[in-house]
Amino acid sequence: MGRRPCCDKQRVKRGPWTAQEDNRLAKFIAADGRRCCWRAVPKLAGLQRCGKSCRLRWTNYLRPGLNHSMLTEAEEWLVIHLHAKLGNRWSKIAAELSGRTDNQIKNYWNTRIKKKLVGMGIDPATHEPLGPTESMAPESKSDDKPQLQEGEAQITKAAASEEEEQPVLSSSFLWDGDFSAEREESAMFPCGSFEGCVEVGDEFWNFRCDSLFECAELGV
């Protein structure tokens, strides 16, 4: 429909941001940058970037409170679980994880989780088993009291109070991957079941896994 481009691509700098640019943008936004629209920000902050680029840099990298470390196992579970529920709604998924951005979640999904799921025989798009092994389907275990099987984890949203019983999210997914080679700081829980609760934003999520499963950085 003949939209106007977001910026003059001829005059605007592109590519990776330098520390100096980061500094300028962060200082400007911290001062009173959010009182004007993003389009005006680069001009006022003395940057040769377009407003869109500034907004992206701020929201994905410079914004206070961002967690730039790798996702924890609990966060990975949450991402997989939320993706099964929401699909590629990265911003919605990111909103459930404090200090994470949609871009971060999206990249993590595309580069790591996707491969893990494929390696486990699960279609990342549908969360259904790949190939003819239909018996692996999560729906096939819809008993009232599901007994978690080898490598299976369950995540439920913890009730906000003792009266409030209904978990907003409650389901399980198969997990028979091996993470042991990936994180040195990980702790192995070689047998039996392991349960915990992790704080994500202002909410608490319970998780449980039986049998061989690695749990890292959970702080529970």
Partner DNA sequence: AAAAACGACAACCGCGTGGAT
Partner DNA sequence: CATCCACGCGGTTGTCGTTTT
Judged by the rule CB under 7 A, the positions of this chain that interact with DNA are 3-6, 9, 13-17, 37-39, 49, 51-53, 55-57, 59-61, 68, 70, 88-92, 102-104, 106-108, 110-112, 115
Q: Which is nearer to DNA, 106 or 208 (CB)?
A: 106
Q: Is 133 exposed, middle or buried (0-12, 13-18, 19+ CB in 10 A)?
A: exposed
Instruction: Quote the least distance from Cβ 68 to DNA, whole Å.
Output: 6
Three-class SS string for 126-143?
CCCECCCCHHHCHHHCCC
Instruction: Quote the least distance from Cβ 122 to DNA, whole Å.
Output: 17
DSSP-derived 3-state class of residue 3: coil
Q: Which is nearer to DNA, 124 or 129 (CB)?
A: 124
Number of CB atoms found within 10 A of residue 12's CB: 17
Q: Which is nearer to DNA, 104 or 172 (CB)?
A: 104
Q: Which is nearer to DNA, 52 or 141 (CB)?
A: 52
Q: Which is nearer to DNA, 35 or 145 (CB)?
A: 35
Q: In what order do the strands lie in the sheet with 170-173?
A: 170-173, 153-157, 203-210, 193-200
* 95 neighbors 82 (Cβ within 8 angstroms): no
Residue type, 98: S
Instruction: Quote the least distance from Cβ 172 to DNA, whole Å.
Output: 24
Instruction: Quote the least distance from Cβ 138 to DNA, whole Å.
Output: 22
Instruction: Quote the least distance from Cβ 197 to DNA, whole Å.
Output: 26
DSSP-derived 3-state class of residue 106: helix
In degrees, to the nearest 5, what angle opens at C-alpha 82 toward C-alphas 63 and 79?
Answer: 55
